[in-house]
């Protein structure tokens, strides 16, 4: 029986801890190659992924990873005793570009949960050699505009999740994490921003909204990923606006643990994933990351885009807001500050709807014998001048 070799770049949008957790459950006898070097391979291993090889990736140049990736893949293809490699599955645009540029002679399939603001460069004829499947209903049209051959969308429910515990059953964790963030009142609203992928425009939008909530006399704490664009500048603007305008204290906490919802979910009341209409290009949030928050019992406030709408029932386990409507976000946050029970009730609904009924086996599309393979094997890149080939 043929096996699948997975190429994963854990630092790429949509390939964070949630995907690593799912892949560790679904891996079985499949091989996994990590892009990003030993540190990324170590981090994936800590999530339970069995790593068969790792390849350093030069910053913003995935094509430069193609020659060493080709060597690793060829060694896996010819490895005795574990069965042949029947296809290679790449889990991000960067991994897909590196894999299509490698010389290995095996069909390539893409599975992409989120995209970066700027697509990696690759020749059009190479793009057409892979069928790419969006994870979630939102990014398919964007992938098509970038020149990929787009297949059917994958559902977020096809991916299993590690066991999670609802926040109300972990009161000690809730109090301890909140103390680390400087949140003393037990009923103060704590809002987290989804960090996969981090977006500077989203941070600016949410920051303006929470500052307005503070001016209106409601205090809260916003927790964001320090990798979000202009996070430190946003923090300074918040401090300056508080001094000028008064009102209740609104804090911005930068904590990289928001990349892993299971680590901080007990202390978070609601997660926000919104955008502005003038954000161009708009990088959709990973549907896997949103589902992880919901499964942990954290309700979602999101712009009414297809990924969020495929998960959230408005008013039950979250709120769907008109795209770019900052006033709607302000009103929802103010109501949640005034009615703490609202976030609790939505959190229970989120845990009930998304924390149960997890997949018990590999989906059909991940089983090679059940998959209708399309496309031809990739062709090797120009080994004589890899720098020129990456342009």
* Domain assignments of the chain as residue spans, ordered by start: 3-160+360-389, 167-354
Fold category of 167-354 in CATH: Rossmann fold (3.40.50)
Q: What local confidence, expressed as pLDDT, does residue 2 receive?
A: 79
Range 84-105 average pLDDT: 91
Question: pLDDT at residue 102 above 80?
Answer: yes
Positive/negative CA dihedral, 46, 291, 203, 266: negative
Question: pLDDT at residue 379 above 80?
Answer: no
Opening angle at CA 46, ends 78 and 116, nearest 5: 80
Burial of 353 (0-12, 13-18, 19+ CB in 10 A): middle
pTM of the model: 0.87
Q: What local confidence, expressed as pLDDT, does residue 374 receive?
A: 47
**Mean pLDDT, all residues of the chain:** 82
Range 221-227 average pLDDT: 86
| 3-160+360-389 and 167-354 agree in CATH topology | yes
Q: Is 279 or 184 the better-scoring residue by pLDDT?
A: 184
Q: What local confidence, expressed as pLDDT, does residue 253 receive?
A: 87
Q: What local confidence, expressed as pLDDT, does residue 386 receive?
A: 29
Range 185-196 average pLDDT: 84
Look-up: residue for tokens 């095996």?
106
Half-sphere exposure of 40 (CA within 13 A, CB side): 21
User: How confident is the model over 107-125, as pLDDT tens digits?
Assistant: 999 999 998 877 888 888 8
Strand-pair category, 53-55 with 31-35: parallel
> Is the CB of residue 74 less than 8 Å from the CB of residue 104?
yes
Cis peptide before 371 (omega within 30 of 0): no
Fold category of 3-160+360-389 in CATH: Rossmann fold (3.40.50)
User: How confident is the model over 326-341, as pLDDT tens digits?
Assistant: 899 999 999 999 999 9
Confidence band, pLDDT 50/70/90 cuts, at residue 391: very low
Confidence band, pLDDT 50/70/90 cuts, at residue 200: low
Confidence band, pLDDT 50/70/90 cuts, at residue 165: low
**Over pLDDT 90: what percentage of the chain?**
39
For the ranges 2-6, 250-254, 284-288, 353-357, the lowest mean pLDDT is seen at: 353-357
Look-up: residue for tokens 């990088």?
283
**Over pLDDT 70: what percentage of the chain?**
81
Q: What local confidence, expressed as pLDDT, does residue 279 receive?
A: 54
> Is the CB of residue 228 less than 8 Å from the CB of residue 265?
no
List phi, psi (to 5°) of 87: -165, 165
Q: What local confidence, expressed as pLDDT, does residue 383 receive?
A: 28
Three-state DSSP string of the chain:
CCEEEEEECCCCCCCCHHHHHHHHHHCCCCEEEEECCHHHHHHHHHCCCCCCEEECCCCCCHHHHHHHHHHHHHHHHCCCCCCCEEEEEECCHHHHHHHHCCCCCCCEEEEECCCCCCCCCCCHHHHCCEEEEEECCCCHHHHHHCCCEECCCECHHHCCCCCCCCHHHCHHHHHHHHHHCCCCCCCCEEEEECCCCCCHHHHHHHHHHHHHHHHCCCCEEEEECCCCCCHHHHHHHHHHHHHHHCCCCEEEEECHHHHCHHHHHHHCCEEEECCCCCCCCCCCCCHHHHHHHHHCCCCEEEECCHHHHCCCCECCCEEEECCCCHHHHHHHHHHHHHCHHHHHHHHHHHHHHHCCCCCCCCCHHHCHHHCCCCCCCCCCCCCCCHHHHCC
For the ranges 5-14, 264-273, 363-372, the lowest mean pLDDT is seen at: 363-372
For the ranges 93-107, 121-135, 206-220, 302-316, the lowest mean pLDDT is seen at: 206-220
Q: What local confidence, expressed as pLDDT, does residue 225 receive?
A: 86
Range 95-112 average pLDDT: 92
Give dist(CA 16, CA 116) in Å, integer.
13
Q: What local confidence, expressed as pLDDT, does residue 144 receive?
A: 92
Nearest to 46 by CA among 24, 72, 13, 27: 24
Question: pLDDT at residue 199 above 70?
Answer: no
Nearest to 62 by CA among 2, 110, 3, 30: 110
């Amino acid at each position: 029986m043929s096996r699948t070799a997975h190429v994963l770049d854990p630092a790429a949008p949509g390939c964070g801890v949630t995907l690593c957790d799912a892949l560790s459950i679904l891996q079985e006898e499949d091989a996994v190659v990590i892009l990003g070097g030993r540190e990324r391979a170590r981090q994936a291993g800590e999530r339970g992924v069995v790593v068969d090889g790792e390849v350093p990736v030069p910053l913003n140049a995935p094509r430069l990873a193609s020659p060493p990736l080709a060597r690793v893949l060829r060694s896996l293809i010819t490895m005795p005793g574990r069965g042949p490699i029947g296809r290679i599955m790449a889990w991000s645009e960067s991994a897909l570009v590196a894999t299509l540029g490698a010389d290995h002679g095996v069909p390539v399939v893409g599975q992409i949960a989120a995209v970066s603001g700027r697509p990696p460069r690759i020749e059009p004829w190479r793009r057409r050699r892979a069928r790419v499947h969006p994870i979630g209903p939102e990014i398919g049209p964007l992938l098509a505009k970038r020149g990929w051959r787009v297949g059917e969308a994958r559902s977020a429910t096809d991916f299993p999740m590690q066991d999670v515990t609802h926040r109300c059953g972990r009161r000690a964790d809730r109090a301890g994490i909140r103390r680390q963030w400087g949140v003393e009142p037990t009923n103060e609203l704590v809002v987290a921003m989804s960090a996969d992928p981090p977006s500077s425009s989203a941070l600016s939008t949410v920051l303006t909204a929470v500052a307005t909530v503070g001016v209106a006399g409601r205090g809260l704490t916003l927790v964001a990923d320090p990798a979000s664009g202009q996070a430190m500048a946003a923090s300074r603007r918040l401090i300056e606006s508080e001094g000028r305008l008064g009102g209740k204290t609104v804090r911005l906490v930068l904590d990289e643990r928001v990349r892993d919802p299971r680590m901080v979910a007990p202390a978070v009341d609601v997660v926000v994933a919104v955008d502005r209409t003038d954000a161009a290009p708009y990088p959709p949030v990973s549907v896997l990351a949103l589902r992880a928050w919901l499964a942990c019992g954290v309700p979602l406030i999101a712009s009414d885009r297809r990924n969020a709408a495929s998960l959230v029932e408005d008013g039950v386990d979250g709120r769907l807001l008109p795209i770019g409507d900052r006033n709607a976000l302000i009103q929802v946050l103010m109501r949640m500050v005034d009615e703490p029970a609202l976030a609790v009730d939505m959190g229970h609904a989120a845990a009930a709807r998304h924390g149960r009924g997890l997949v018990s086996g590999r989906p059909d599309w991940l089983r090679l014998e059940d998959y209708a393979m399309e496309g031809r094997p990739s062709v090797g890149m120009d080994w004589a001048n890899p720098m020129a080939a990456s342009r």
